[in-house]
């Protein structure tokens, strides 16, 4: 799971996923700090740097090496930076997931 440090470290996502049998992996402390900083200091200012993308890919590849098979992109700006073709794991774009759920709910 990638997102703000609160999204990655607090249990509100992890507990719900665990209840569905999904193991949640998060980066180490240094990478959590890097991701959190990039969200607040770059993405929120509409800054998307190639060096930041490379760091995200490094972090994601390390998690894949540890067994990750997919990534919850738990911040709305991460899918602007990371595309499905960038990584050999399934990305879960939470904006798309929430929008689809809202439309499905509205139409039911």
pTM of the model: 0.90
Domain boundaries, the chain: 5-107
Q: Give, as one character, the DSSP assignment of residue 64.
A: H
CATH (residue range 5-107) = 3.40.50.1860
Residue 23 in 3-state DSSP?
coil
pLDDT for the residue 95 = 87
How far is residue 64's CA from residue 69's CA, in Å, rounded to a whole number? 6
The whole-number pLDDT of residue 108 equals: 93
Q: What's the mean pLDDT in 68-88?
A: 95
Structure confidence by residue, pLDDT tens digits, 9-63: 999 888 999 999 999 999 999 999 999 999 999 999 999 999 999 999 999 999 9
Contact in structure between 8 and 1 (CB atoms under 8 Å): yes
Q: How many CB atoms lie within 10 A of CB 65?
A: 8
């Amino acid at each position: 799971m990638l997102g703000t440090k609160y999204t990655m470290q607090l249990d509100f996502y992890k507990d719900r996923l665990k209840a569905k049998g999904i193991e949640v992996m998060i980066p180490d402390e240094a990478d959590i700090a890097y991701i959190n900083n990039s969200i607040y200091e770059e993405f929120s200012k509409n800054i998307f740097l190639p060096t930041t993308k490379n760091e995200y890919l490094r972090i994601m590849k390390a998690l894949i090496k540890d067994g990750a098979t997919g990534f919850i992109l738990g911040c709305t700006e991460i899918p602007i930076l990371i595309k499905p073709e960038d990584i050999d794991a399934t990305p879960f774009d939470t904006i798309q997931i929430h929008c689809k759920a809202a439309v499905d709910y509205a139409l039911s």
